[in-house]
C-alpha cells in the first residue's frame, strides 16, 4: 500500500471500490444462480474485467511506474502478477477480490494516516490567520503574515494569540491547553512571554509582537512534529530493508513452485501449480508490515504531542523503551526554578516590618531572581526608597534607607564591612539574605526554590517503569541538593557543580556499558550534557528555541511527570509494533504452508495479506 497517497475526495476515493464490489457480487451471483447467463465465454471475462479495472488499473500503472524507476519487485508488481495470473487460469472472481480488498485496505490506511495528521494539525496549528494590530489607538484586522516585529496587537477574551510576543497589559490569564495539554489556565505577568496558540481567558490584553508569523515557537513545533516521521525507528528501517530483499526471494520461490514440480511430478498440471504460486505471491505481499509499522510510530508521536510531549522522531520512542538510567537537573526540572521567601528572622529588638521593608527597598534596585522573590513576599510593606545604592559583586548591595547605611547580601558582605552576626547565620543551609542597618546586624531571611507538585510522584513512576538509577545534578549547595533528593526518594545527588562538572558526571554514568541514559534539563544551560545522553529531554521547553534545537524530546510544560508519560507511550508504541510483526508473520507463515500444499485458495490468501494488513492498521490506530 502506498503510504504517501492522499485521496482528495472521500466520494472519489470510495467510488471505484463500490463499483468493483457491486460487479464482483453480481458476477458471483450469476455464476451460482444463472450460469446460463454467460452464453458466450468472453461475456464472463468482460464482466469481471469491468469489475477489476476500477481497482486494478491504478495498481497496474503504479507497478509500471515503479519498474521504470528501477523498483521492480514492489508490492504493486506482486499484486499485478498474482491477479493477471488468476485471470489467465480463469479464476476471475479471485483476481478481482485480490485487487478489491487491496483497494479497501489502502482506503483504511489512508483514512488512518489522514486522521492522525488531522489530529496533530488540529492540535498544533491553532494560529489565527489575522491579527488586530493597533493603528492610532484603533485595532485594525491585518493578515497575521503581514504583522511586523514591534507591532502592538490586541487580543480579545476568547481569541487565540496569532503570533509570539510579550504582554504589555497587567497580569492576565491564558488557556494553553492546545500547546501543553494543561487544563488549568496559565497566569502571565506584564512583560511575560505570550505564545501563538494561547487563548485569552479573563480580559482584553495588548501585546508587542516579538517574532514574525512564520518563526513563532508554535510554527517551529508544528514543523518538528510533522517532520518527526522522517526520523525512522530502527524497527521501521529494518522492515523496509527486509522488504527489499524479501520480495525478490518471494518471486523466485513462486517461480520455483511452478517449475520444480515439472521435473518430479507425473502428471504435471501447469494451471494447478500456477494457482499455488499465485496464492504464494498474494500471501507474501509485505503490506501489513510496510504500512502498519510506520503508522504505529506515527500514532505514538501523535499521542505524545497531545500530552504536550514533542519527539523529533520515531527512533526516540524506541530509545525511551530502553532507558534504565535518568540523570536530572534540579532547578527547573524537579523544582520550579522560582525562588520564594521561606522564613524571616529579624534580630532581637528589630521590628519585623521595618526589617522587611528595608530589605525590600534595597532589593528593588536588583534584577536577581532572589531580589524578585523578596519583592513578591514584601509586597505592601513600604518604608521609603533606597538611595546611593551600590552593588558589590559576589557580596550584595550597600545603600541608604531612611538616612541609615544599609547592607543587604550574603555573610561575606557582613564580614567585608566587619559587621558581627550570630553563628547560626553560617549554619543555614538554604540561600540566605543577611541585612545590617546602621552598621549593626538586623537579621536574615531565607529563600528557597519550591519542589514541583508532581516531582515525588515522577520519581516513583520512573522506578516503577524499570529505571534502575536516578541521578540528580545541581549547581546549588550540596546540602540543599541532598535534602531535596532525600525528600524525592533519589539516592544519588551531587551539588556545587559547574557545567563542566555535570559533563564529567554524565561521562562517569555512561562508563557502564549497560546504561541507556536519558538526561532531563532546561535545554539551554545543559546543552553539553543533553548531547552526551542517549536521549535528551528538555523540560519546560515551550517558547525556548534553544530547547527545541538541542533536545530529542521536548516537554512543553513544567510537569516532570510527562517524562514517565513519554516512556509509557514509547513502550505502548513498541508493543503495538511488535504485535503487528507477530500477527503478520504468523498468519502469513500458516497460509503460505497451506497454499504451497494446495490446501488454501486465493480467498485465504487475500485474508492473509489484506485482512492481516487491515487488522494491523486498526491495531496501530489504537495509538491515537
Query: Which strand (E) or helix (H) includes residue 450?
Result: strand 440-451
List, edge to edge, every strand of the sheet that includes 152-155: 138-143, 130-135, 152-155, 205-209, 165-167, 193-194
Q: Are residues 41 and 95 in the same domain?
A: yes
Q: How distant, in Å, are the alpha carbons of 76, 80, 90, 562, 615 from that of 55? A: 12, 11, 19, 45, 21
138 within a domain of the structure (yes/no): yes
446 within a domain of the structure (yes/no): yes
Q: Are residues 113 and 247 in the same domain?
A: yes
Task: Give catalytic residues, as residue numbers.
Answer: 329
284 within a domain of the structure (yes/no): yes
Q: Are residues 276 and 415 in the same domain?
A: no
Check residue 8 and give its pLDDT. Answer: 41
Domain boundary among 450, 469, 492: 450
Q: Are residues 156 and 237 in the same domain?
A: no
Question: What would the pLDDT profile of 577-616 be if each residue is shown by its tens digit?
Answer: 889 888 888 887 888 788 767 777 777 777 777 777 778 8
Q: Domain holding 162: CATH number?
A: 2.70.150.10
Kindly report which listed range (37-46, 251-260, 545-554) carries the lowest average pLDDT score: 545-554
DSSP string, 255-301: HHHHHHHHHH-SS--HHHHHHHHHHHHHHH--HHHHHHHHHHHHHHH
Q: Are residues 140 and 116 in the same domain?
A: no
Residues 613 and 611: their CA atoms lie apart, in Å, by 5
C-alpha cell at 510: 555512561
DSSP string, 292-310: HHHHHHHHHHHHHHHTTEE
* Residues forming a β-bridge with 325: 469, 517
Query: How many separate domains does the chain show?
Result: 3
476 within a domain of the structure (yes/no): no
Domain boundary among 450, 476, 497: 450
Q: Are residues 239 and 201 in the same domain?
A: no
Q: Are residues 195 and 266 in the same domain?
A: no
Flag whether pLDDT at 469 surpasses 80.
yes
Across the range 295-308, mean pLDDT stands at 81
Residues 97 and 311: their CA atoms lie apart, in Å, by 40
What domain range includes position 186?
Answer: 130-215
Q: Are residues 241 and 280 in the same domain?
A: yes
Question: What would the pLDDT profile of 441-458 be if each residue is shown by its tens digit?
Answer: 999 999 888 889 899 999
Q: How distant, in Å, are the alpha carbons of 8, 219, 317, 433, 558 from that of 114? A: 11, 20, 21, 58, 31
Per DSSP, 510 falls in state T
Q: Is 66 helix (H, G, I), strand (E, B) or coil?
A: helix
33 within a domain of the structure (yes/no): yes
Q: Domain holding 397: CATH number?
A: 3.40.1110.10
Q: Are residues 158 and 273 in the same domain?
A: no
Per DSSP, 146 falls in state G
pTM of this prediction?
Answer: 0.68
Instruction: Return the higher-pLDDT residue of 203 and 79.
Output: 203
Flag whether pLDDT at 412 surpasses 60.
yes
C-alpha cell at 327: 540523570
612 within a domain of the structure (yes/no): yes
Check residue 315 and give its pLDDT. Answer: 85
Q: Are residues 209 and 353 in the same domain?
A: no
Kindly report which listed range (138-152, 433-447, 532-546) carries the lowest average pLDDT score: 532-546
Q: Is 353 helix (H, G, I), strand (E, B) or coil?
A: helix
Q: How many CB atoms neighbour CB 474 within 10 A? A: 25
Domain boundary among 215, 236, 252: 215
Q: Are residues 109 and 155 in the same domain?
A: no
267 within a domain of the structure (yes/no): yes
Q: Are residues 101 and 238 in the same domain?
A: yes
Across the range 339-361, mean pLDDT stands at 92
Query: Which strand (E) or helix (H) includes residue 525?
Result: none
411 within a domain of the structure (yes/no): yes
Amino acid at each position: 500500500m502506498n503510504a504517501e497517497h492522499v485521496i482528495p475526495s472521500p466520494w472519489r476515493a470510495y467510488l471505484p471500490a463500490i463499483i468493483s464490489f457491486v460487479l464482483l457480487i453480481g458476477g458471483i451471483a450469476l455464476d451460482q444462480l444463472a450460469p446460463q447467463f454467460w452464453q458466450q465465454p468472453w461475456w464472463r471475462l468482460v464482466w469481471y474485467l469491468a469489475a477489476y479495472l476500477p481497482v486494478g488499473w491504478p495498481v497496474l500503472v503504479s507497478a509500471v511506474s515503479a519498474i521504470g524507476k528501477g523498483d521492480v519487485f514492489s508490492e504493486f508488481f506482486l499484486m499485478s502478477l498474482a491477479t493477471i495470473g488468476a485471470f489467465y487460469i480463469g479464476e476471475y472472481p479471485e483476481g478481482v477480490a485480490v485487487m478489491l480488498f487491496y483497494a479497501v485496505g489502502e482506503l483504511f490506511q489512508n483514512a488512518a494516516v489522514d486522521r492522525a495528521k488531522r489530529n496533530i494539525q488540529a492540535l498544533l496549528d491553532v494560529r489565527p490567520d489575522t491579527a488586530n494590530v493597533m493603528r492610532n489607538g484603533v485595532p485594525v484586522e491585518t493578515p497575521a503574515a503581514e504583522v511586523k516585529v514591534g507591532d502592538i496587537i490586541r487580543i480579545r477574551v476568547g481569541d487565540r494569540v496569532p503570533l509570539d510576543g510579550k504582554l504589555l497589559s497587567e497580569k492576565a490569564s491564558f488557556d494553553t491547553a492546545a500547546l501543553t495539554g494543561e487544563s488549568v489556565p496559565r497566569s502571565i505577568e506584564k512583560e511575560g512571554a505570550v505564545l501563538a496558540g494561547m487563548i485569552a481567558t479573563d480580559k482584553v490584553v495588548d501585546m508587542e509582537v516579538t517574532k514574525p508569523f512564520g518563526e513563532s515557537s508554535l510554527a517551529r513545533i508544528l514543523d518538528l512534529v510533522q517532520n518527526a516521521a522522517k526520523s525512522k525507528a530502527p524497527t521501521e528501517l529494518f522492515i523496509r530493508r527486509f522488504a527489499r530483499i524479501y520480495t525478490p526471494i518471494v518471486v523466485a520461490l513462486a517461480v520455483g513452485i511452478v517449475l520444480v514440480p515439472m521435473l518430479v511430478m507425473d502428471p504435471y498440471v501447469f494451471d494447478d501449480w500456477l494457482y499455488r504460486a499465485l496464492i504464494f505471491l498474494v500471501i507474501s505481499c509485505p503490506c501489513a508490515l510496510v504500512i502498519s509499522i510506520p503508522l504505529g510510530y506515527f500514532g505514538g508521536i501523535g499521542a505524545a504531542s497531545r500530552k504536550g510531549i514533542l519527539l523529533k522522531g520515531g527512533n526516540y520512542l524506541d530509545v525511551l523503551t530502553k532507558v534504565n538510567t535518568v540523570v536530572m537537573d534540579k532547578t527547573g526540572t524537579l523544582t520550579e526554578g522560582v525562588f520564594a521567601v521561606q522564613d524571616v528572622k529579624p534580630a532581637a529588638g528589630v521590628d519585623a516590618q521595618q526589617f522587611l521593608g528595608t530589605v525590600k527597598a534595597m532589593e528593588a534596585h536588583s534584577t536577581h531572581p532572589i531580589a524578585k522573590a523578596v519583592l513578591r513576599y514584601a509586597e505592601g510593606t513600604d518604608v521609603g526608597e533606597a538611595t546611593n545604592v551600590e552593588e558589590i559583586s559576589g557580596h550584595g548591595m550597600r545603600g541608604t534607607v531612611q538616612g541609615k547605611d544599609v547592607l543587604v547580601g550574603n555573610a561575606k558582605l557582613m564580614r567585608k564591612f566587619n559587621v558581627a552576626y550570630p553563628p547560626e547565620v553560617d549554619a543555614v543551609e538554604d540561600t540566605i539574605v543577611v541585612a545590617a542597618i546602621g552598621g549593626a546586624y538586623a537579621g536574615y531571611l531565607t529563600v528557597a526554590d519550591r519542589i514541583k507538585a508532581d516531582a515525588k510522584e515522577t520519581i516513583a513512576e520512573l522506578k516503577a517503569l524499570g529505571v534502575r538509577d536516578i541521578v540528580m545534578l545541581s549547581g546549588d549547595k550540596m546540602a540543599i541538593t541532598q535534602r531535596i533528593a532525600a525528600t524525592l526518594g533519589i539516592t544519588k545527588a551531587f551539588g556545587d557543580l559547574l557545567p563542566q562538572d555535570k559533563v564529567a558526571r554524565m561521562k562517569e554514568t555512561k562508563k557502564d556499558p549497560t546504561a541507556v541514559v536519558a538526561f532531563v534539563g532546561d535545554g539551554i544551560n545543559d546543552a553539553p550534557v543533553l548531547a552526551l545522553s542517549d536521549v535528551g529531554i528538555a523540560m519546560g521547553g515551550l517558547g525556548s528555541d534553544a530547547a527545541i534545537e538541542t533536545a530529542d524530546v521536548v516537554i512543553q510544560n513544567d510537569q516532570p511527570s510527562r517524562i514517565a508519560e513519554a516512556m509509557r507511550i514509547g513502550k505502548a508504541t513498541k508493543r503495538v509494533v511488535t504485535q503487528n510483526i507477530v500477527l503478520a508473520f504468523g498468519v502469513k507463515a500458516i497460509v503460505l504452508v497451506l497454499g504451497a500444499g494446495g490446501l488454501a485458495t486465493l480467498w485465504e490468501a487475500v485474508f492473509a495479506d489484506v485482512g492481516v494488513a487491515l487488522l494491523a492498521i486498526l491495531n496501530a490506530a489504537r495509538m491515537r
